[in-house]
Homo-oligomer: A and B are copies of this chain.
Amino acid sequence: MSTVGAGIPEPPREEPNSAWLTDEELAWARGRMPLLYVEAVPVRVDGLGIVTQVGVLLRANSAGDITRSLVSGRVMYGETIRDALFRHLEKDLGAMAFPLLPASPVPFQVAEYFPIPGLSAFLDERQHAVSLAFVVPVTGTCEPRQDALEITWVTPAEASSPTFHAELEGGRGTLLRAALASVGVLG
């Protein structure tokens, strides 16, 4: 029976190429390489494609505080970016959100999260994560699941405000502004 040192991933038991990492494997990877994420800003658009509302999640963070957040999650091994985007939208907004994924695979912004401040505008204490961020129109009903407690819909003007900006963690206020700018509705 083999043992491994602290922080080293246990040997995967069943599936040699499982896309799912154990907690220990993930902890190990988080200290060794950048992890790939996708993020999404859900929006509602009018008949001409103009963004009329912006969806922001209320989510409990790891410290138990309620903070505003965006749809976000890791890209798994063997998973396309579109599949990851769709999976996390469904996880955070429910199965009836009916998101319209963009035809273009190019994100509006690439957010680089580092565990220490100063390297970029984005901070994630857990890891070095690189996040491809997209604006995604949704056409159905959003019913947040899992740890996303609630989705709030605000106008682009509200979402552009300094107070709103301050309520998003880790630089996501800046990312939200970049999202608004990319669709021409930053105030």
Number of copies: 4
Known: A36-B130, A77-B34, A112-B80. A49 touches B101 (CB 8 A): yes
Chain B residue nearest to A104 in the complex (CB): B183
For residue A45, CB closer than 8 A to chain B, the reply is yes
For residue A117, CB closer than 8 A to chain B, the reply is no
Q: How many Å lie between the Cα of A21 and that of B9 in the bound state?
A: 14
Q: Give the contact-size bracket for chain A.
A: 35 or more
Q: How many Å lie between the Cα of A102 and that of B5 in the bound state?
A: 41
A1-45: contact bitstring with B at CB < 8 Å (1 yes, 0 no)?
111110111111000111101000100110111111000000101
For residue A83, CB closer than 8 A to chain B, the reply is yes
Q: How many Å lie between the Cα of A187 and that of B162 in the bound state?
A: 10
Asked if A106 and B103 sit within 8 Å, CB to CB, the answer is no
Asked if B4 and A4 sit within 8 Å, CB to CB, the answer is yes
Contacts of A77 in B (CB 8 A): 31-34, 128
Contacts of A102 in B (CB 8 A): 49, 102
Q: How many Å lie between the Cα of A36 and that of B154 in the bound state?
A: 34
A5 to chain B minimum Cβ distance, whole angstroms, is 4
Chain B residue nearest to A83 in the complex (CB): B48
